[in-house]
Chain A
């Protein structure tokens, strides 16, 4: 019992730090190492960089990183094609169907290198940290599960339930025709 309370507090502290840390300046070597993804030969899935794991996967569960990702999603014209996740010329992100899989590495590679059917490469526009932030945010759009951290609505036109309210609900058995 005596050991339990500090343990719980420590766990809380760790969880708290994890989802709310804000680093405004990432070290250049870390930035470089963050680009070290090892996708599978078909460029779907694969291993994240060692430093990403070492840092404790700092983007997917971090509210600040997700909100930065959302800001970049808006600023990098992602909305032009994917709207607010509902799709347009680009595929919907909200329905939880991923052409290249839901894996964060796939999303990172998609953003960095582009994909054949019109997805441009952002390698020369965003640094590795920003790419991770956008990838993590895009993943929350189509997430089926409530996450420990998610962004909320923007001060813009209401388009859909915000990420912290509406996990994807489309049935998984029926792929949308493309």
Chain B
């Protein structure tokens, strides 16, 4: 339990650090925080701005300002977006499900296919399938994902007409139930693949290296000597130990997946948090931008905590310190 306590202190410190970084980014911005909070300098009336400054204590010393900023943060008070005419927290929370669907399915896809391809590559090490898989992962690792997305739109949407070019569901048909789920999946296919390929390449390499290492160990030789089939050895005995590092890596990649969502959601007009961030950038809504950054970072911290605890549960060799 002291392990859990330490982890929780770490989480609190990290969230505090994230808030401080954001506070200083806000200080760097032209104009003061009141201008930023009001949406955009010059659009709000002076009286309102003066009110904001008093309310947020911008006439106070820096440390007091930081304290006020932290208090608002822990109250989930991110201010009001005049561009969208609603509180920032509502605006962001409305967009979260779409992003979770996209990021979740792309992580799952990258993991499943990364593990499969990695195992195949390791079992055929040095032969043709391994060489092809390694070449493909080298290529995908070097390709800008948003460009893969655009090229898939050209092939699958424009030329073949198999998939829609963007959005999350058909607006006109107004489907419900299972038809709606299938419709969303049809819209999800290209964006999820776009997000997945880069990490698919990384995970394939990781699993391949891990499998090669594990397959050379004594217990695998013992398993072979006992006459256990090669398939069972690969997927049952070796894979278990080879994918442990992958779990932690996937956890730390979550932030990158969220960042990538800004691109993917823009390319495919997916109505999630990433697309909201893109719009906020164009509308110069700095407060909204910072709020998205803070919330995404906190989300990453919490998921990583969960991953660490899960990892400790499934891998008994991890010592809880």
Q: Do A and B form a real pair?
A: no
Partner-A contacts on B (CB < 8 A): none
